[in-house]
Amino acid sequence: MERNREALLAAAAAVFVEQGVQAPIRDIAGRAGVGVGTVYRHFPTRAELVTAVYRHQLDECAALAPQLLREPIAPTEALTRWVATFVEFLVTKHGLGVALQSEDPSLLSLHRLMLEKLIPACATLIDAGVAAGEIDPEVTAYRLMRAVGNLCILGAGYDRADAKDMVARLLTGCRQTRD
Amino acid sequence: MERNREALLAAAAAVFVEQGVQAPIRDIAGRAGVGVGTVYRHFPTRAELVTAVYRHQLDECAALAPQLLREPIAPTEALTRWVATFVEFLVTKHGLGVALQSEDPSLLSLHRLMLEKLIPACATLIDAGVAAGEIDPEVTAYRLMRAVGNLCILGAGYDRADAKDMVARLLTGCRQTRD
Amino acid sequence: MERNREALLAAAAAVFVEQGVQAPIRDIAGRAGVGVGTVYRHFPTRAELVTAVYRHQLDECAALAPQLLREPIAPTEALTRWVATFVEFLVTKHGLGVALQSEDPSLLSLHRLMLEKLIPACATLIDAGVAAGEIDPEVTAYRLMRAVGNLCILGAGYDRADAKDMVARLLTGCRQTRD
Amino acid sequence: MERNREALLAAAAAVFVEQGVQAPIRDIAGRAGVGVGTVYRHFPTRAELVTAVYRHQLDECAALAPQLLREPIAPTEALTRWVATFVEFLVTKHGLGVALQSEDPSLLSLHRLMLEKLIPACATLIDAGVAAGEIDPEVTAYRLMRAVGNLCILGAGYDRADAKDMVARLLTGCRQTRD
DNA sequence: TATGAATGAGCCTTCATTCAT
DNA sequence: CATGAATGAAGGCTCATTCAT
């Protein structure tokens, strides 16, 4: 049933927020009100479940880059806005940051997804900024995103506002410093 | 025996580097050449062991701040040097970054230790910078350290050099920008 | 639909060859291009499916005995030929040997089928041999067939040729030895 | 504790008799009155447990061959006695026959053990028989033992006496037939 | 004090079997 | 009748933690 797939994605998203992407499969099944077998039927591996939960957001985020480039704004502004959206996703979906930088084999798919979709998207914005002399050419999409992803790992005393602030400062530090 | 305590700290440090702070207790015991019971005798909880392993480094790091303040250098330079030392600890001691920002109840001691020792140390440097008009007053020691700690979570394709670079950019973004 | 029954028998036969009679029901359903429910509808228990798959061969084998008795050959030769046919079935239908001697409750039907059809058939040949003084009266159809069935359990380094050879030697040992 | 190892071996032997060598580890642990972890501590893999249970018997059996060769008896008689001992082990230790011919990766050790110990032992006896012109040179130790092992798979209506009888007939069929 | 064997909870994964559509 | 999604029992394995020696 399609209903279960939806329920599972919702349950998984909720459980990932609470426990992270390494939460026991049973917990997700229980939250969705189904048996563990059902989880395995729909998502044979943990990676497939995690990937499914975040795929849509990642696609949207990737699609945002070309849109921003078409707008009549400075490359730096475009990158800033894109990163802001990225951050929004990261802090909304607790655990995604960790997942994106994990080397856990069961999360390889998600990592690959990031490499395939987000890195190129982010890279186009950085390239535009570099071309305009606004961004330090040393900055690479991969490193920047890893850093942003890390900065978005929240905790007590370090909320999403703090993360946004720190990401903004990091971007400031990525500006071209021609002195 | 005091010998065992030393051996355990050395073994734990080594194992933490290789496997992170969640490494099996048995591995640490084995590395130290003792039984697991001995680990529990000396360090009843994992947090106490982790704390003990890093306490010395943290003390040193905390002591560095007043030294730097006494030197004839700009406050920004002092903060930069202090953070560099902090980063060195973070990336050298694999897992410390994660541990410092973890809410895992078993690591609360370490978190508390950071609050008690490092935050004040870092805060004096920030305060000096703010007083000199070099640092944005919005920046707080706690948030900065969390951010730096996060930036030092390494992984494939994001090594210590990358972390240092990103931390440097973050500090740039923390400068007073009254233009 | 009768079609499904046929498809299932064919699929089951194929899967039994590959995986043995303990193969997952789902594999059989998949091979037949039907749902698992359909398997259960036609064959409520695994035993019924296994039985159905082999019934025809068993019937043929049973019918061979009276034919051989009618031919102008020595009783020993008749028994040898019959056993050869039996062996052919056993090694061709992977898992049948195991199934025939299994005490697994789910395979009782097949066991009963052997008792009802094959034992009497084999017994008539043995009786003829005993009457002719060629076969040791100690040999009983049931034990002989169990033994032959066991000898036909193949494996790496013990193929059907080996099984045939050993069965031939066993039959040699069943000859009347009044010397 | 050495006691547990003994208890485990005893429990495993008993459970293997009842359920075969694929019995759940939990059952063995329960029978021995220990936790599953204890089983894994003593025998990290199923193969090691099975091997340990049967190693002693296999060693004894292997050692019997040279003894028999030294006695003033016919090679055929020696082989017959050795096989009788082998059969005794096989039927006493239910499941060993199956285990010895299994291709299950978890039982590879046991299979290897048979290859290393029993095959050579049996081969020396066969060679002696062949040299004396009493045994058909076509017979190889491996095939003979596989066959004997198979013949010793017991079941309802086919007990150890039946197995012995059939093995005896098989050996008769292995005699040199110079006519 | 030190040891490490023992325990058992907890997670993963597979499949036989049921049942709503 | 057919389907195949759902269920959940079963069994494997891994450690954190305890405790008798």
Query: pLDDT, tens digit, for every residue of A159-173?
Result: 889 999 999 999 999
pLDDT higher than threshold 70 for residue A136: yes
Listed in sequence order, the residues at least 6 apart from A136 whose beta carbon sits closer than 8 Å to its beta carbon are A130, A174, A175, A176, A177
Domain boundaries, chain A: 1-44, 46-173
pLDDT in tens, D119-156: 999 999 999 999 999 999 999 999 999 999 989 888 78
Query: Residues of chain B with pLDDT > 90: what percent?
Result: 58
Residue numbers of C between 134 and 163 with CB closer than 8 Å to D: 138-139, 142-144, 146-147, 150-151, 153, 155-158, 162
Strand partners, C2: none
Q: From D144, which residue of chain C is nearest by alpha-carbon distance? A: C166
Question: Do D150 and C153 lie within an 8 Å CB cutoff?
Answer: yes
Query: Residues of chain A with pLDDT > 70: what percent?
Result: 91
Q: Which residue is nearest to nucleotide E2 (CA to C1')?
A: B38
Instruction: State the Cα torsion B61-B62-B65-B70 to the nearest 10°.
Output: -110
**Residue B20 three-state SS:** coil
Q: What is the pLDDT along chain C (179 residues), one digit of tens a residue?
A: 678 899 999 999 889 888 888 889 999 999 999 999 999 999 999 888 988 888 888 898 999 999 999 999 999 999 999 999 999 888 777 666 666 666 676 777 777 888 888 999 999 999 999 999 999 999 999 999 999 998 998 878 888 899 999 999 999 999 976 44
Nearest to D153 among C144, C150, C155 (CB): C150
Q: Which nucleotide is nearest to D1 (CA to C1')?
A: E5
Residue numbers of D between 2 and 21 with CB closer than 8 Å to C: none
Query: Residues of chain D with pLDDT > 70: what percent?
Result: 91
Sign of CA dihedral B14, B16, B18, B24: positive
Query: If pLDDT is split at 50, 70 and 90, which confidence band does D89 have?
Result: confident
pLDDT score at D112: 82
pLDDT in tens, B114-152: 888 899 999 999 999 999 999 999 999 999 999 999 899
Listed in sequence order, the residues at least 6 apart from B94 whose beta carbon sits closer than 8 Å to its beta carbon are B16, B17, B18, B20, B154
Q: Which fold has domain D46-173?
A: Tetracycline Repressor; domain 2 (1.10.357)
Asked whether the beta carbons of D40 and D90 are under 8 A apart, the reply is no
Which residues 67-126 of C interface with strand F at a CB distance below 7 A? Answer: none
pLDDT score at D129: 95
Average pLDDT value for chain B: 88
Q: Which residue is nearest to nucleotide E11 (CA to C1')?
A: A24
Asked whether the beta carbons of B25 and B88 are under 8 A apart, the reply is no
Is the domain spanning A1-44 CATH 1.10.10? The answer is yes
Across chain D, which distance is largest between two alpha carbons, in Å?
Answer: 63
Substitution target in B19, B103, B146, B148 with the highest count of A β-carbons within 10 Å is B146
Whether the CB of C42 is less than 7 Å away from nucleic strand F comes out as yes
Instruction: State the Cα torsion C72-C75-C81-C86 to the nearest 10°.
Output: 130
Whether the CB of A41 is less than 7 Å away from nucleic strand F comes out as yes
Asked whether the beta carbons of A86 and A178 are under 8 A apart, the reply is no
Question: Do B101 and A146 lie within an 8 Å CB cutoff?
Answer: no
List the alpha helices (DSSP H) in C20-140. Answer: 25-32, 36-42, 46-70, 75-92, 96-101, 108-113, 119-131
Q: Which of A104-108, C97-101, D49-53 has the lowest mean pLDDT?
A: C97-101
Asked whether the beta carbons of D158 and C160 are under 8 A apart, the reply is no
The rounded distance, in Å, linking the Cα atoms of D95 and D100 is: 8
